[in-house]
Structure formats: C-alpha cells, structure tokens
C-alpha cells in the first residue's frame, strides 16, 4: 500500500496544536498590549506629574470656627462637651465670635467657617453647639432660644483645660455670641462658609429671605453645608450658591471614581463644593492638580481636610502635616490653627 501523501493523525493534530498555540499566544500579546496602552493612556490622562498647577493656582486657607481654642478630634460624639477638653489656652479667642474671625482674617484666612441656628425670633445665631449647657451659662436647645436671650449669655463660661479647676474665659465673653448680620456688617469684604446645624429646610429659605432684604450680604457667602434640608433649600433659593451635604459628597465621589479616569466630571460634582479628607482625596483620578483643574472648570471649589479616621475630619493643623498639601495646591486648606498654620500653608 502506497504511503505517498499520507499524514498520520498524530502529526496532523500536533501541527494544528502548534498553530493554535501560536495564535493563542499572539492573541494574548495583543490583549496585553492593548491593556498596557489603555493603562498608559489612563495614567497620562490623570497623572499630575505631567500636569502641574496652573499658573493662576494659589493655595487658600479656610479657618474652621475662626481662631479658637482647640481640642482633640478623636473619640468625640454628639454629646462630647469640647469646651471641657481644650488644650491650655495660647491665645484669648473663642470660636464663632467677631474677635476670632478678625484674628483669622488677620492671620491670612481667605474664608472663615461659622455655625448658625435659626432662632424663634427669626435671627441666625452664630454658635456651634446644639445646646447651650456646655459652653455658656445658659441651658436648653440653641435654636429654641430667642436671640434676645442668647445675646445675654457668657459664651466662655464652660471652657476649662484642667478638668474644672479653672475657667480662664468665664466672665470675659458675656454678650459675644453674634448674629449673622452682625458678622456680615463687621466684615464687608470677608468670605464665609455657613454650617447649618439643623435639618430644617426653613433655615435655607430664611437665608435667601435675608439676602433678599440685604443683597449686599450675598457676596459674603462663600457657600453653605451641613444639614441636607437647609443646605439644599438655600442652594435652590439663591442663584449661584454652592454647597454640600454628606449625601451629595458621597454621590460625587462614587460617580467620579467610576468615570473620572476619562477626565469626565459627572453632574454630581459640578457647581458645588467638595470637602475631601486628604487620605481619600489622594485616591481620586488626577489628584491633585488635574483633579483641581477639572473641578474648577466645572465650577466647583475644592477644600482639603485633614485625614479622616472614621469620625470627625481634622484640619491641616500641625507643621508636620504640611507635606499632605501639594505645593501650589489650587484649592482651600481647612485648618483649626489658622494663627500658626495660615502662613506656612500658603507658602507651600
């Protein structure tokens, strides 16, 4: 029997396997090359190594509560009386007072954060705590107390750095709780970030009513944040007002994490304010300079907070933390120690 032209089944299978193997290997290389090219493109599109700060980028400072007495931010809850946890005083200023705000601006702050409560007599009391018992010689819920009463209180009454052995501000701060219009009148060129302490939508519309009556105050409002209901009501009532709440921040971060690699800024991140803990911000596409440039192009202000540890976010409060702020960072840096940190932060 002739064997000319005969190929054994084993040899034929081997040849086919070799060809198939080469094709498979080639396909794998093509896929890996495409993946590498896409990864390189994403990196190039998001690396700040190739996109430094814009020529007009400047680092600005946001003074939390003005110049104030500081306290540890870890292990705090809603019932913590921080006035009894202060460090030994190094200056005479108390949070949310006219003097503390003036000291913050004098130290170099560009924006001062303050807290408000709408009182029964229609005034915005500038005061942090939900109740009066911790800091003042009064008692009860702040928003349920007429401002005419709040103005008589000693807002330094409860401060102590030694467990109640001494009260260094007692008797020195009577009548120093300001009303929001008093703040605006004292600093006609100042900028303020207003923190709503309640969940009452009427606080948002009340701010709009105030601006309707005193339109010259509009320029003083950098933005609003805090309780979702008043924050959103204020934004809806005042054209061009920026603000944020916890849910809006989360929506922006999640959406941007999914789409930001492409350079796209989702609607949740447009015309708003983003206050980002530095240990979260560093993982966002394009951080810091590309990210900030994208947000500015979308009409959004970026505020850099200190590291988030699951509780309250601290500020950039110590010189050892300056390395967390990129040189020529184009947003605002949140600090609790404006008097010592504003200058070194702005020199970054």
For 72, 176, 242, 313, the CA distances from 94, given in Å and listed in that order, are 16, 9, 27, 20
Query: What phi, psi does 224 have (nearest 5°)?
Result: -135, 155
**Per the structure block, which two tokens stand in for 196?**
């709503």
Cα–Cα nearest to 296, from 53, 112, 46, 110: 53
Question: What span, in angstroms and rounded, lies between the C-alpha atoms of 143 and 300?
Answer: 31
Could you tell me where the DSSP H helices lie in the chain? 9-46, 98-107, 147-150, 180-186, 201-213, 228-237, 246-259, 278-281, 289-297, 338-346
- Among candidate residues 51, 64, 117, 296, the one labeled active-site is 64
Q: Is 128 a catalytic residue?
A: yes
Strand partners, 113: 64, 193
* 3-state secondary structure (DSSP) of residue 320: helix
Strand partners, 335: 63
Question: What span, in angstroms and rounded, lies between the C-alpha atoms of 346 and 348?
Answer: 5
Overall size of the chain counted in residues: 348
Q: Is 91 a catalytic residue?
A: no
**Per the structure block, which two tokens stand in for 157?**
């009454």
- Asked if 312 contacts 279 with a C-beta cutoff of 8 angstroms, the reply is no
DSSP string, 185-227: HH-TT--EEEEE-S--HHHHHHHHHHHHH-GGGGGGEEEEEES
- Asked if 192 contacts 112 with a C-beta cutoff of 8 angstroms, the reply is yes
- Among candidate residues 91, 128, 296, 318, the one labeled active-site is 128
- Asked if 192 contacts 98 with a C-beta cutoff of 8 angstroms, the reply is no
**Active-site residue set:** 64, 128
């Amino acid at each position: 029997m002739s064997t000319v032209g005969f190929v054994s089944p084993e040899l034929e299978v081997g040849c086919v396997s070799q060809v198939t193997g080469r094709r498979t290997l080639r396909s794998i290389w093509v896929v890996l090359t495409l993946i590498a090219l896409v990864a390189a493109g994403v990196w190039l599109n998001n690396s700040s190594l190739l996109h430094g700060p814009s020529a007009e980028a400047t680092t600005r400072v946001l003074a939390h509560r003005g110049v104030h007495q500081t306290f540890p931010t870890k292990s705090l809850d809603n019932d913590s009386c921080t006035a009894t946890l202060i460090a030994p005083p190094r200056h005479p200023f108390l949070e949310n007072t006219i003097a503390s705000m003036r000291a913050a601006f004098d130290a170099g702050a560009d924006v001062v954060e303050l807290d408000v409560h709408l009182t029964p007599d229609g005034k915005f009391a500038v005061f942090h705590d939900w109740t009066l018992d911790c800091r003042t010689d009064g008692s009860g819920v702040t928003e349920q107390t007429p401002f005419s009463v709040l103005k008589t209180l000693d807002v330094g009454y409860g401060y102590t750095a030694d467990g109640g052995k001494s009260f260094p501000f007692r008797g020195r701060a009577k009548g120093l709780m300001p009303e929001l219009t008093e703040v605006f009148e004292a600093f006609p060129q100042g900028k303020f970030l207003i923190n709503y302490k309640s969940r009452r939508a009427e606080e948002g519309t009340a701010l709009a009513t105030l601006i309707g009556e005193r339109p010259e105050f509009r320029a003083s409002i950098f933005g609003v944040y805090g309780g979702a209901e008043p924050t959103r009501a204020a934004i809806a009532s005042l054209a061009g007002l920026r603000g944020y709440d916890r849910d809006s921040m989360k929506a922006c971060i999640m959406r941007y994490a999914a789409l930001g690699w492409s350079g796209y800024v989702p609607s949740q991140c447009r015309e708003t304010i983003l206050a980002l803990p530095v240990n979260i911000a560093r993982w966002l596409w394009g951080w810091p300079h590309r990210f900030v440039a994208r947000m500015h192009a979308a009409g959004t202000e970026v505020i850099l907070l200190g590291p988030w540890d699951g509780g309250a976010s601290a500020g950039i409060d110590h010189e050892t933390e300056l390395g967390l702020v990129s040189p020529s960072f184009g947003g605002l840096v949140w600090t609790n120690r404006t008097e010592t940190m504003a200058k070194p932060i702005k020199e970054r």
